[in-house]
């Protein structure tokens, strides 16, 4: 089953099928030691942390939370008040969603399968945060337009400005390459952990 799930993860990565990716990732996490899956989630979130801190240097609480998770292997009793603030920068929303998923996966009273699903979601959010930050760094005009007029109707597409910009981001050839490469690297990391 592990080989099939790894093959499915790699096939979904090449096809950029995020629904299949998340399903295959969760199934692989079910076959791993909980702390090995947790490590993969923490690592991906930690990889994005410098990007978040560059845009929000005053926000030190995500780093403190990650350090606490690594040091104690559990979620803190309460989130800091700053966690309820809005952080507007490319990838920040996905990064924070991933961080909160990570904390949910540490809740002891939650069934193990659900905890591992939260770990898989944390990984997915971290990878998406990186893709968004990379693309918007190269297209600051798109970020500015999205922030100023995101919910406005877009006469070009009939949708909103945000939807047009998101489609441009998602269909970008470099984004596609980075997306596939990130998931394939994750599959390799999982394979190493499963064969260790």
The per-residue pLDDT for range 2-48, each reduced to its tens digit, is 889 999 999 999 999 999 999 999 999 999 999 999 999 999 999 99
**CB of 91 within 8 A of CB of 51?**
yes
**CB of 123 within 8 A of CB of 98?**
yes
Kindly provide the residue ranges of all beta strands, DSSP E only, lying in the chain, ordered along the sequence: none
**CB of 143 within 8 A of CB of 136?**
yes
In angstroms, rounded to a whole number, what is the distance separating the alpha carbons of residues 27 and 6? 10
The pLDDT score that the predictor gives to residue 173 is: 97
The answer to whether residue 129 scores a pLDDT higher than 70 is: yes
Q: pLDDT confidence of 196, banded at 50, 70, 90?
A: confident
In angstroms, rounded to a whole number, what is the distance separating the alpha carbons of residues 5 and 27? 7
In angstroms, rounded to a whole number, what is the distance separating the alpha carbons of residues 122 and 37? 10
Structure tokens at 172: 């970008």
Predicted model pTM: 0.94
What sign results for the dihedral spanned by CA atoms 41, 8, 170, 139? positive
**CB of 99 within 8 A of CB of 65?**
yes
How many domains does the chain fold into?
A: 1
* Angle in degrees, CA 15, 97, 171, rounded to 5: 30
The domain in which residue 89 lies consists of 2-195
In angstroms, rounded to a whole number, what is the distance separating the alpha carbons of residues 36 and 56? 30
Higher pLDDT, 71 or 50: 50
């Amino acid at each position: 089953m592990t080989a099939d799930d790894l093959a499915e993860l790699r096939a979904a990565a090449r096809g950029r099928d995020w629904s299949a990716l998340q399903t295959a990732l969760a199934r692989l996490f079910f076959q791993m030691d909980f702390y090995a899956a947790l490590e993969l989630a923490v690592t991906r979130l930690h990889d994005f942390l410098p990007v978040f801190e560059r845009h929000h240097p005053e926000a030190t609480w995500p780093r403190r939370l990650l350090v606490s998770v690594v040091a104690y292997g559990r979620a803190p009793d309460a989130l800091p008040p700053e966690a309820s603030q809005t952080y507007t920068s490319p990838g920040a929303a996905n990064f924070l969603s991933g961080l909160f998923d990570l904390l949910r996966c540490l809740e002891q009273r939650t069934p193990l399968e659900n905890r591992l699903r939260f770990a898989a979601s944390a990984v997915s959010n971290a990878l998406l945060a990186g893709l968004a930050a990379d693309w918007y760094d190269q297209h600051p005009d798109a970020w500015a337009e999205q922030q100023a007029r995101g919910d406005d109707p877009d006469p070009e597409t009939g949708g909103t400005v945000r939807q047009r910009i998101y489609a441009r981001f998602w269909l970008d050839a470099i984004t596609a390459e980075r997306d596939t490469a990130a998931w394939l690297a994750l599959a390799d990391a999982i394979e190493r952990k499963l064969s260790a």
